[in-house]
Structure 1
Amino acid sequence: MKIYVDPGHGGSDPGAQGNGLSEKNITLDISQRIRSILINNYRNVNVRLSRDGDITKSLQQRTNEANAWGADYFLSIHCNAFNGNARGYEDFIHSNLSDSSQTARYRNVLHTEITKVNQLRNRGKKKANFHVLRESNMSAILTENGFIDNQSDAALMRNASWRQKVAQGHVNGLAKAFNLQLKEDHDGGNDSGQLFKVIAGSFKSKANAEQRVEELESKGISSFLDSLSLSGEIWFRVQAGAFSERDNAEEQLIRVRNAGIRDAYIISED
């Protein structure tokens, strides 16, 4: 089973923004968590992310890659924005598809499982002529996981445990829709939902953080900015990878430090 997970936006395209958050960072975090849960816990599942860092990638590149890889399912992760008042979760399949299509049946299962756990208002199942839904050769869904410009939804997005729940809801839907089989033992994996993130510096100045991202990029290490509030102040954190296993995070930390970033460290989030 090949699942292509597409974290929306990235690089020069931040996506929706609000309440100190950028869609491209939220979607990447959720997507990495989806991959970790699938790879650690299920048999015969291959997962490919359209991006594994803060890079710019066109919609055509994403669908071309999924098609060339021969993906069985295309899962595009997004967040919404409107007027600050709208809130909740909704998902989309292509507008040409009937409610009895296989894609719609898959979507029905994912919708049910995601809305069980995401703590968001259910805005329903919808259809649209989005590129990733139209140009993918396989069944595809696009999920909109809350409104980033709504204070209530954004407060959830800021919480790592909520992002883990959303990822788990997507995986629960995939497992049920495609009859994925759990591994008999998980000794080699991390079942706790922990994600080990390599932080290559934290800054009060966004410009300084962006300079660190450029420095890492010049040395072949992809990273992106994540903002967080500490004691009422906004800090900009440079993330250079997220891993389900501590050993892999340690290896990345060594690479970052060898690139001259001495203040890099690892954090774990449940």
Structure 2
Amino acid sequence: MKLYLDPGHGGSDPGASGNGLQEKNIVLDIALKIRDLLVNDYEDVEVRMSRTGDSTKSLQQRTNEANSWGADYYVSIHCNAFNGSADGYEDYIYSGLADSSQTARYRDILHEEITRVNQLRNRGKKKANFHVLRETNMAAFLSENGFIDNSNDASKMRDSSWRQQVAQGHVNGIARAFNLTPKQDDDDSGTFYRVIAGSFKSRTNAEERAQFLIDRGIDSTLVAVTISGETWYRVQAGAFSKRENAERRLREVKNAGIEDAYISS
């Protein structure tokens, strides 16, 4: 799966601003976290970014690059602004698409996963004639992750753990939409040590456990596994190439109250 990941604005274009923050910086950090989570946790994922630093790039350059590369999906990360009076999360697909389109089905999944973890008011699923949604040859999605000029939303944006949660929500949605395969314990870099914070037959129960950890600043995601023909949902609180890092995370999880957490290798 080839993902073109587009942190909006950059360089001479700061995007929206408010409460001492600039959109270009917030969305770049979220996008970098999305990239790292996808590449580290899933098989057969290629990620190309419109920018990985504070550089200027036109909208046409971004969509041309994604089209030339032959991306399977285009995800553009943004923050909103509206005189400080609005708040919350919303996302967009191209206005010319039907609700039954594949792009809309992908968006429905991402919307569900992102709003589950982002702690923002849900403003809904929307459509627009934005360049990056209109001029891309592949399915495209644009998220507006809070209002930077709203004091409550901005206070979340300042928090690195919140930005990590938002990134994880995007990754959970992409993984579900494209049926990505979680990495096995062994890959080219050697053994991975995974911290498992519970296994549940009920996805809802697994989501509650993951949210419990996320609320305490511990990154968590769900991994579906098949055991004796039945689907179980494991709550994974990180995967590490060094056992000592996994043990450190395990202590954090247990200190949060999950005594039955363990390391899988």
Q: 1:39 to 1:191 in 2, by over 3 A?
A: farther
Q: How many residues align?
A: 195
Secondary structure, counterpart of 2:143 in structure 1: strand
The offset of 1:83, in angstroms, is 1.4
The residue number in structure 1 matching 2:95 is: 95
1:11 equivalent to 2:11? Answer yes
8 Å contact 1:16–1:80 — kept in the other structure?
yes
The offset of 1:81, in angstroms, is 0.2
Partners of 2:146 and 2:194 in 1: how far apart?
26
Counterparts of residues 1-270 of structure 1 (less than 5 Å): 1-185=1-185, 188=189
Secondary structure, counterpart of 1:180 in structure 2: coil
Q: Structure 2-normalised TM-score?
A: 0.71
8 Å contact 2:39–2:47 — kept in the other structure?
yes
Q: Structure 1-normalised TM-score?
A: 0.70
Q: Which amino acid aligns with 1:139?
A: A
Partners of 2:3 and 2:148 in 1: how far apart?
26
8 Å contact 1:84–1:151 — kept in the other structure?
yes
The offset of 1:245, in angstroms, is 9.8
Secondary structure, counterpart of 1:170 in structure 2: helix
8 Å contact 1:40–1:186 — kept in the other structure?
no
Q: 1:18 to 1:169 in 2, by over 3 A?
A: same
The structure whose RCO (Cα within 8 Å, separation 6+) is larger is 1
8 Å contact 2:185–2:193 — kept in the other structure?
no
The offset of 1:191, in angstroms, is 7.3
The offset of 1:145, in angstroms, is 0.1
Q: List alignment gaps of at least 5 residues for structure 1.
A: 193-243, 247-270
Secondary structure, counterpart of 1:103 in structure 2: helix
Secondary structure, counterpart of 1:91 in structure 2: strand
* Identical positions, percent: 71
Give runs of ≥4 in structure 1 deviating > 2 Å: 186-192
Q: 1:186 to 1:155 in 2, by over 3 A?
A: farther
Partners of 1:92 and 1:43 in 2: how far apart?
27
The residue number in structure 1 matching 2:227 is: none
8 Å contact 2:8–2:76 — kept in the other structure?
yes
Superposition RMSD on alpha carbons, in Å? 1.9
Partners of 1:191 and 1:144 in 2: how far apart?
31
Q: 1:191 to 1:117 in 2, by over 3 A?
A: farther
Q: 1:17 to 1:186 in 2, by over 3 A?
A: farther
The offset of 1:85, in angstroms, is 1.5
Give deviations 1:128-160, integer Å, cap 9, x for gaps: 000000000000000000000000000000000
Partners of 1:177 and 1:94 in 2: how far apart?
18
Q: Which amino acid aligns with 1:44?
A: D
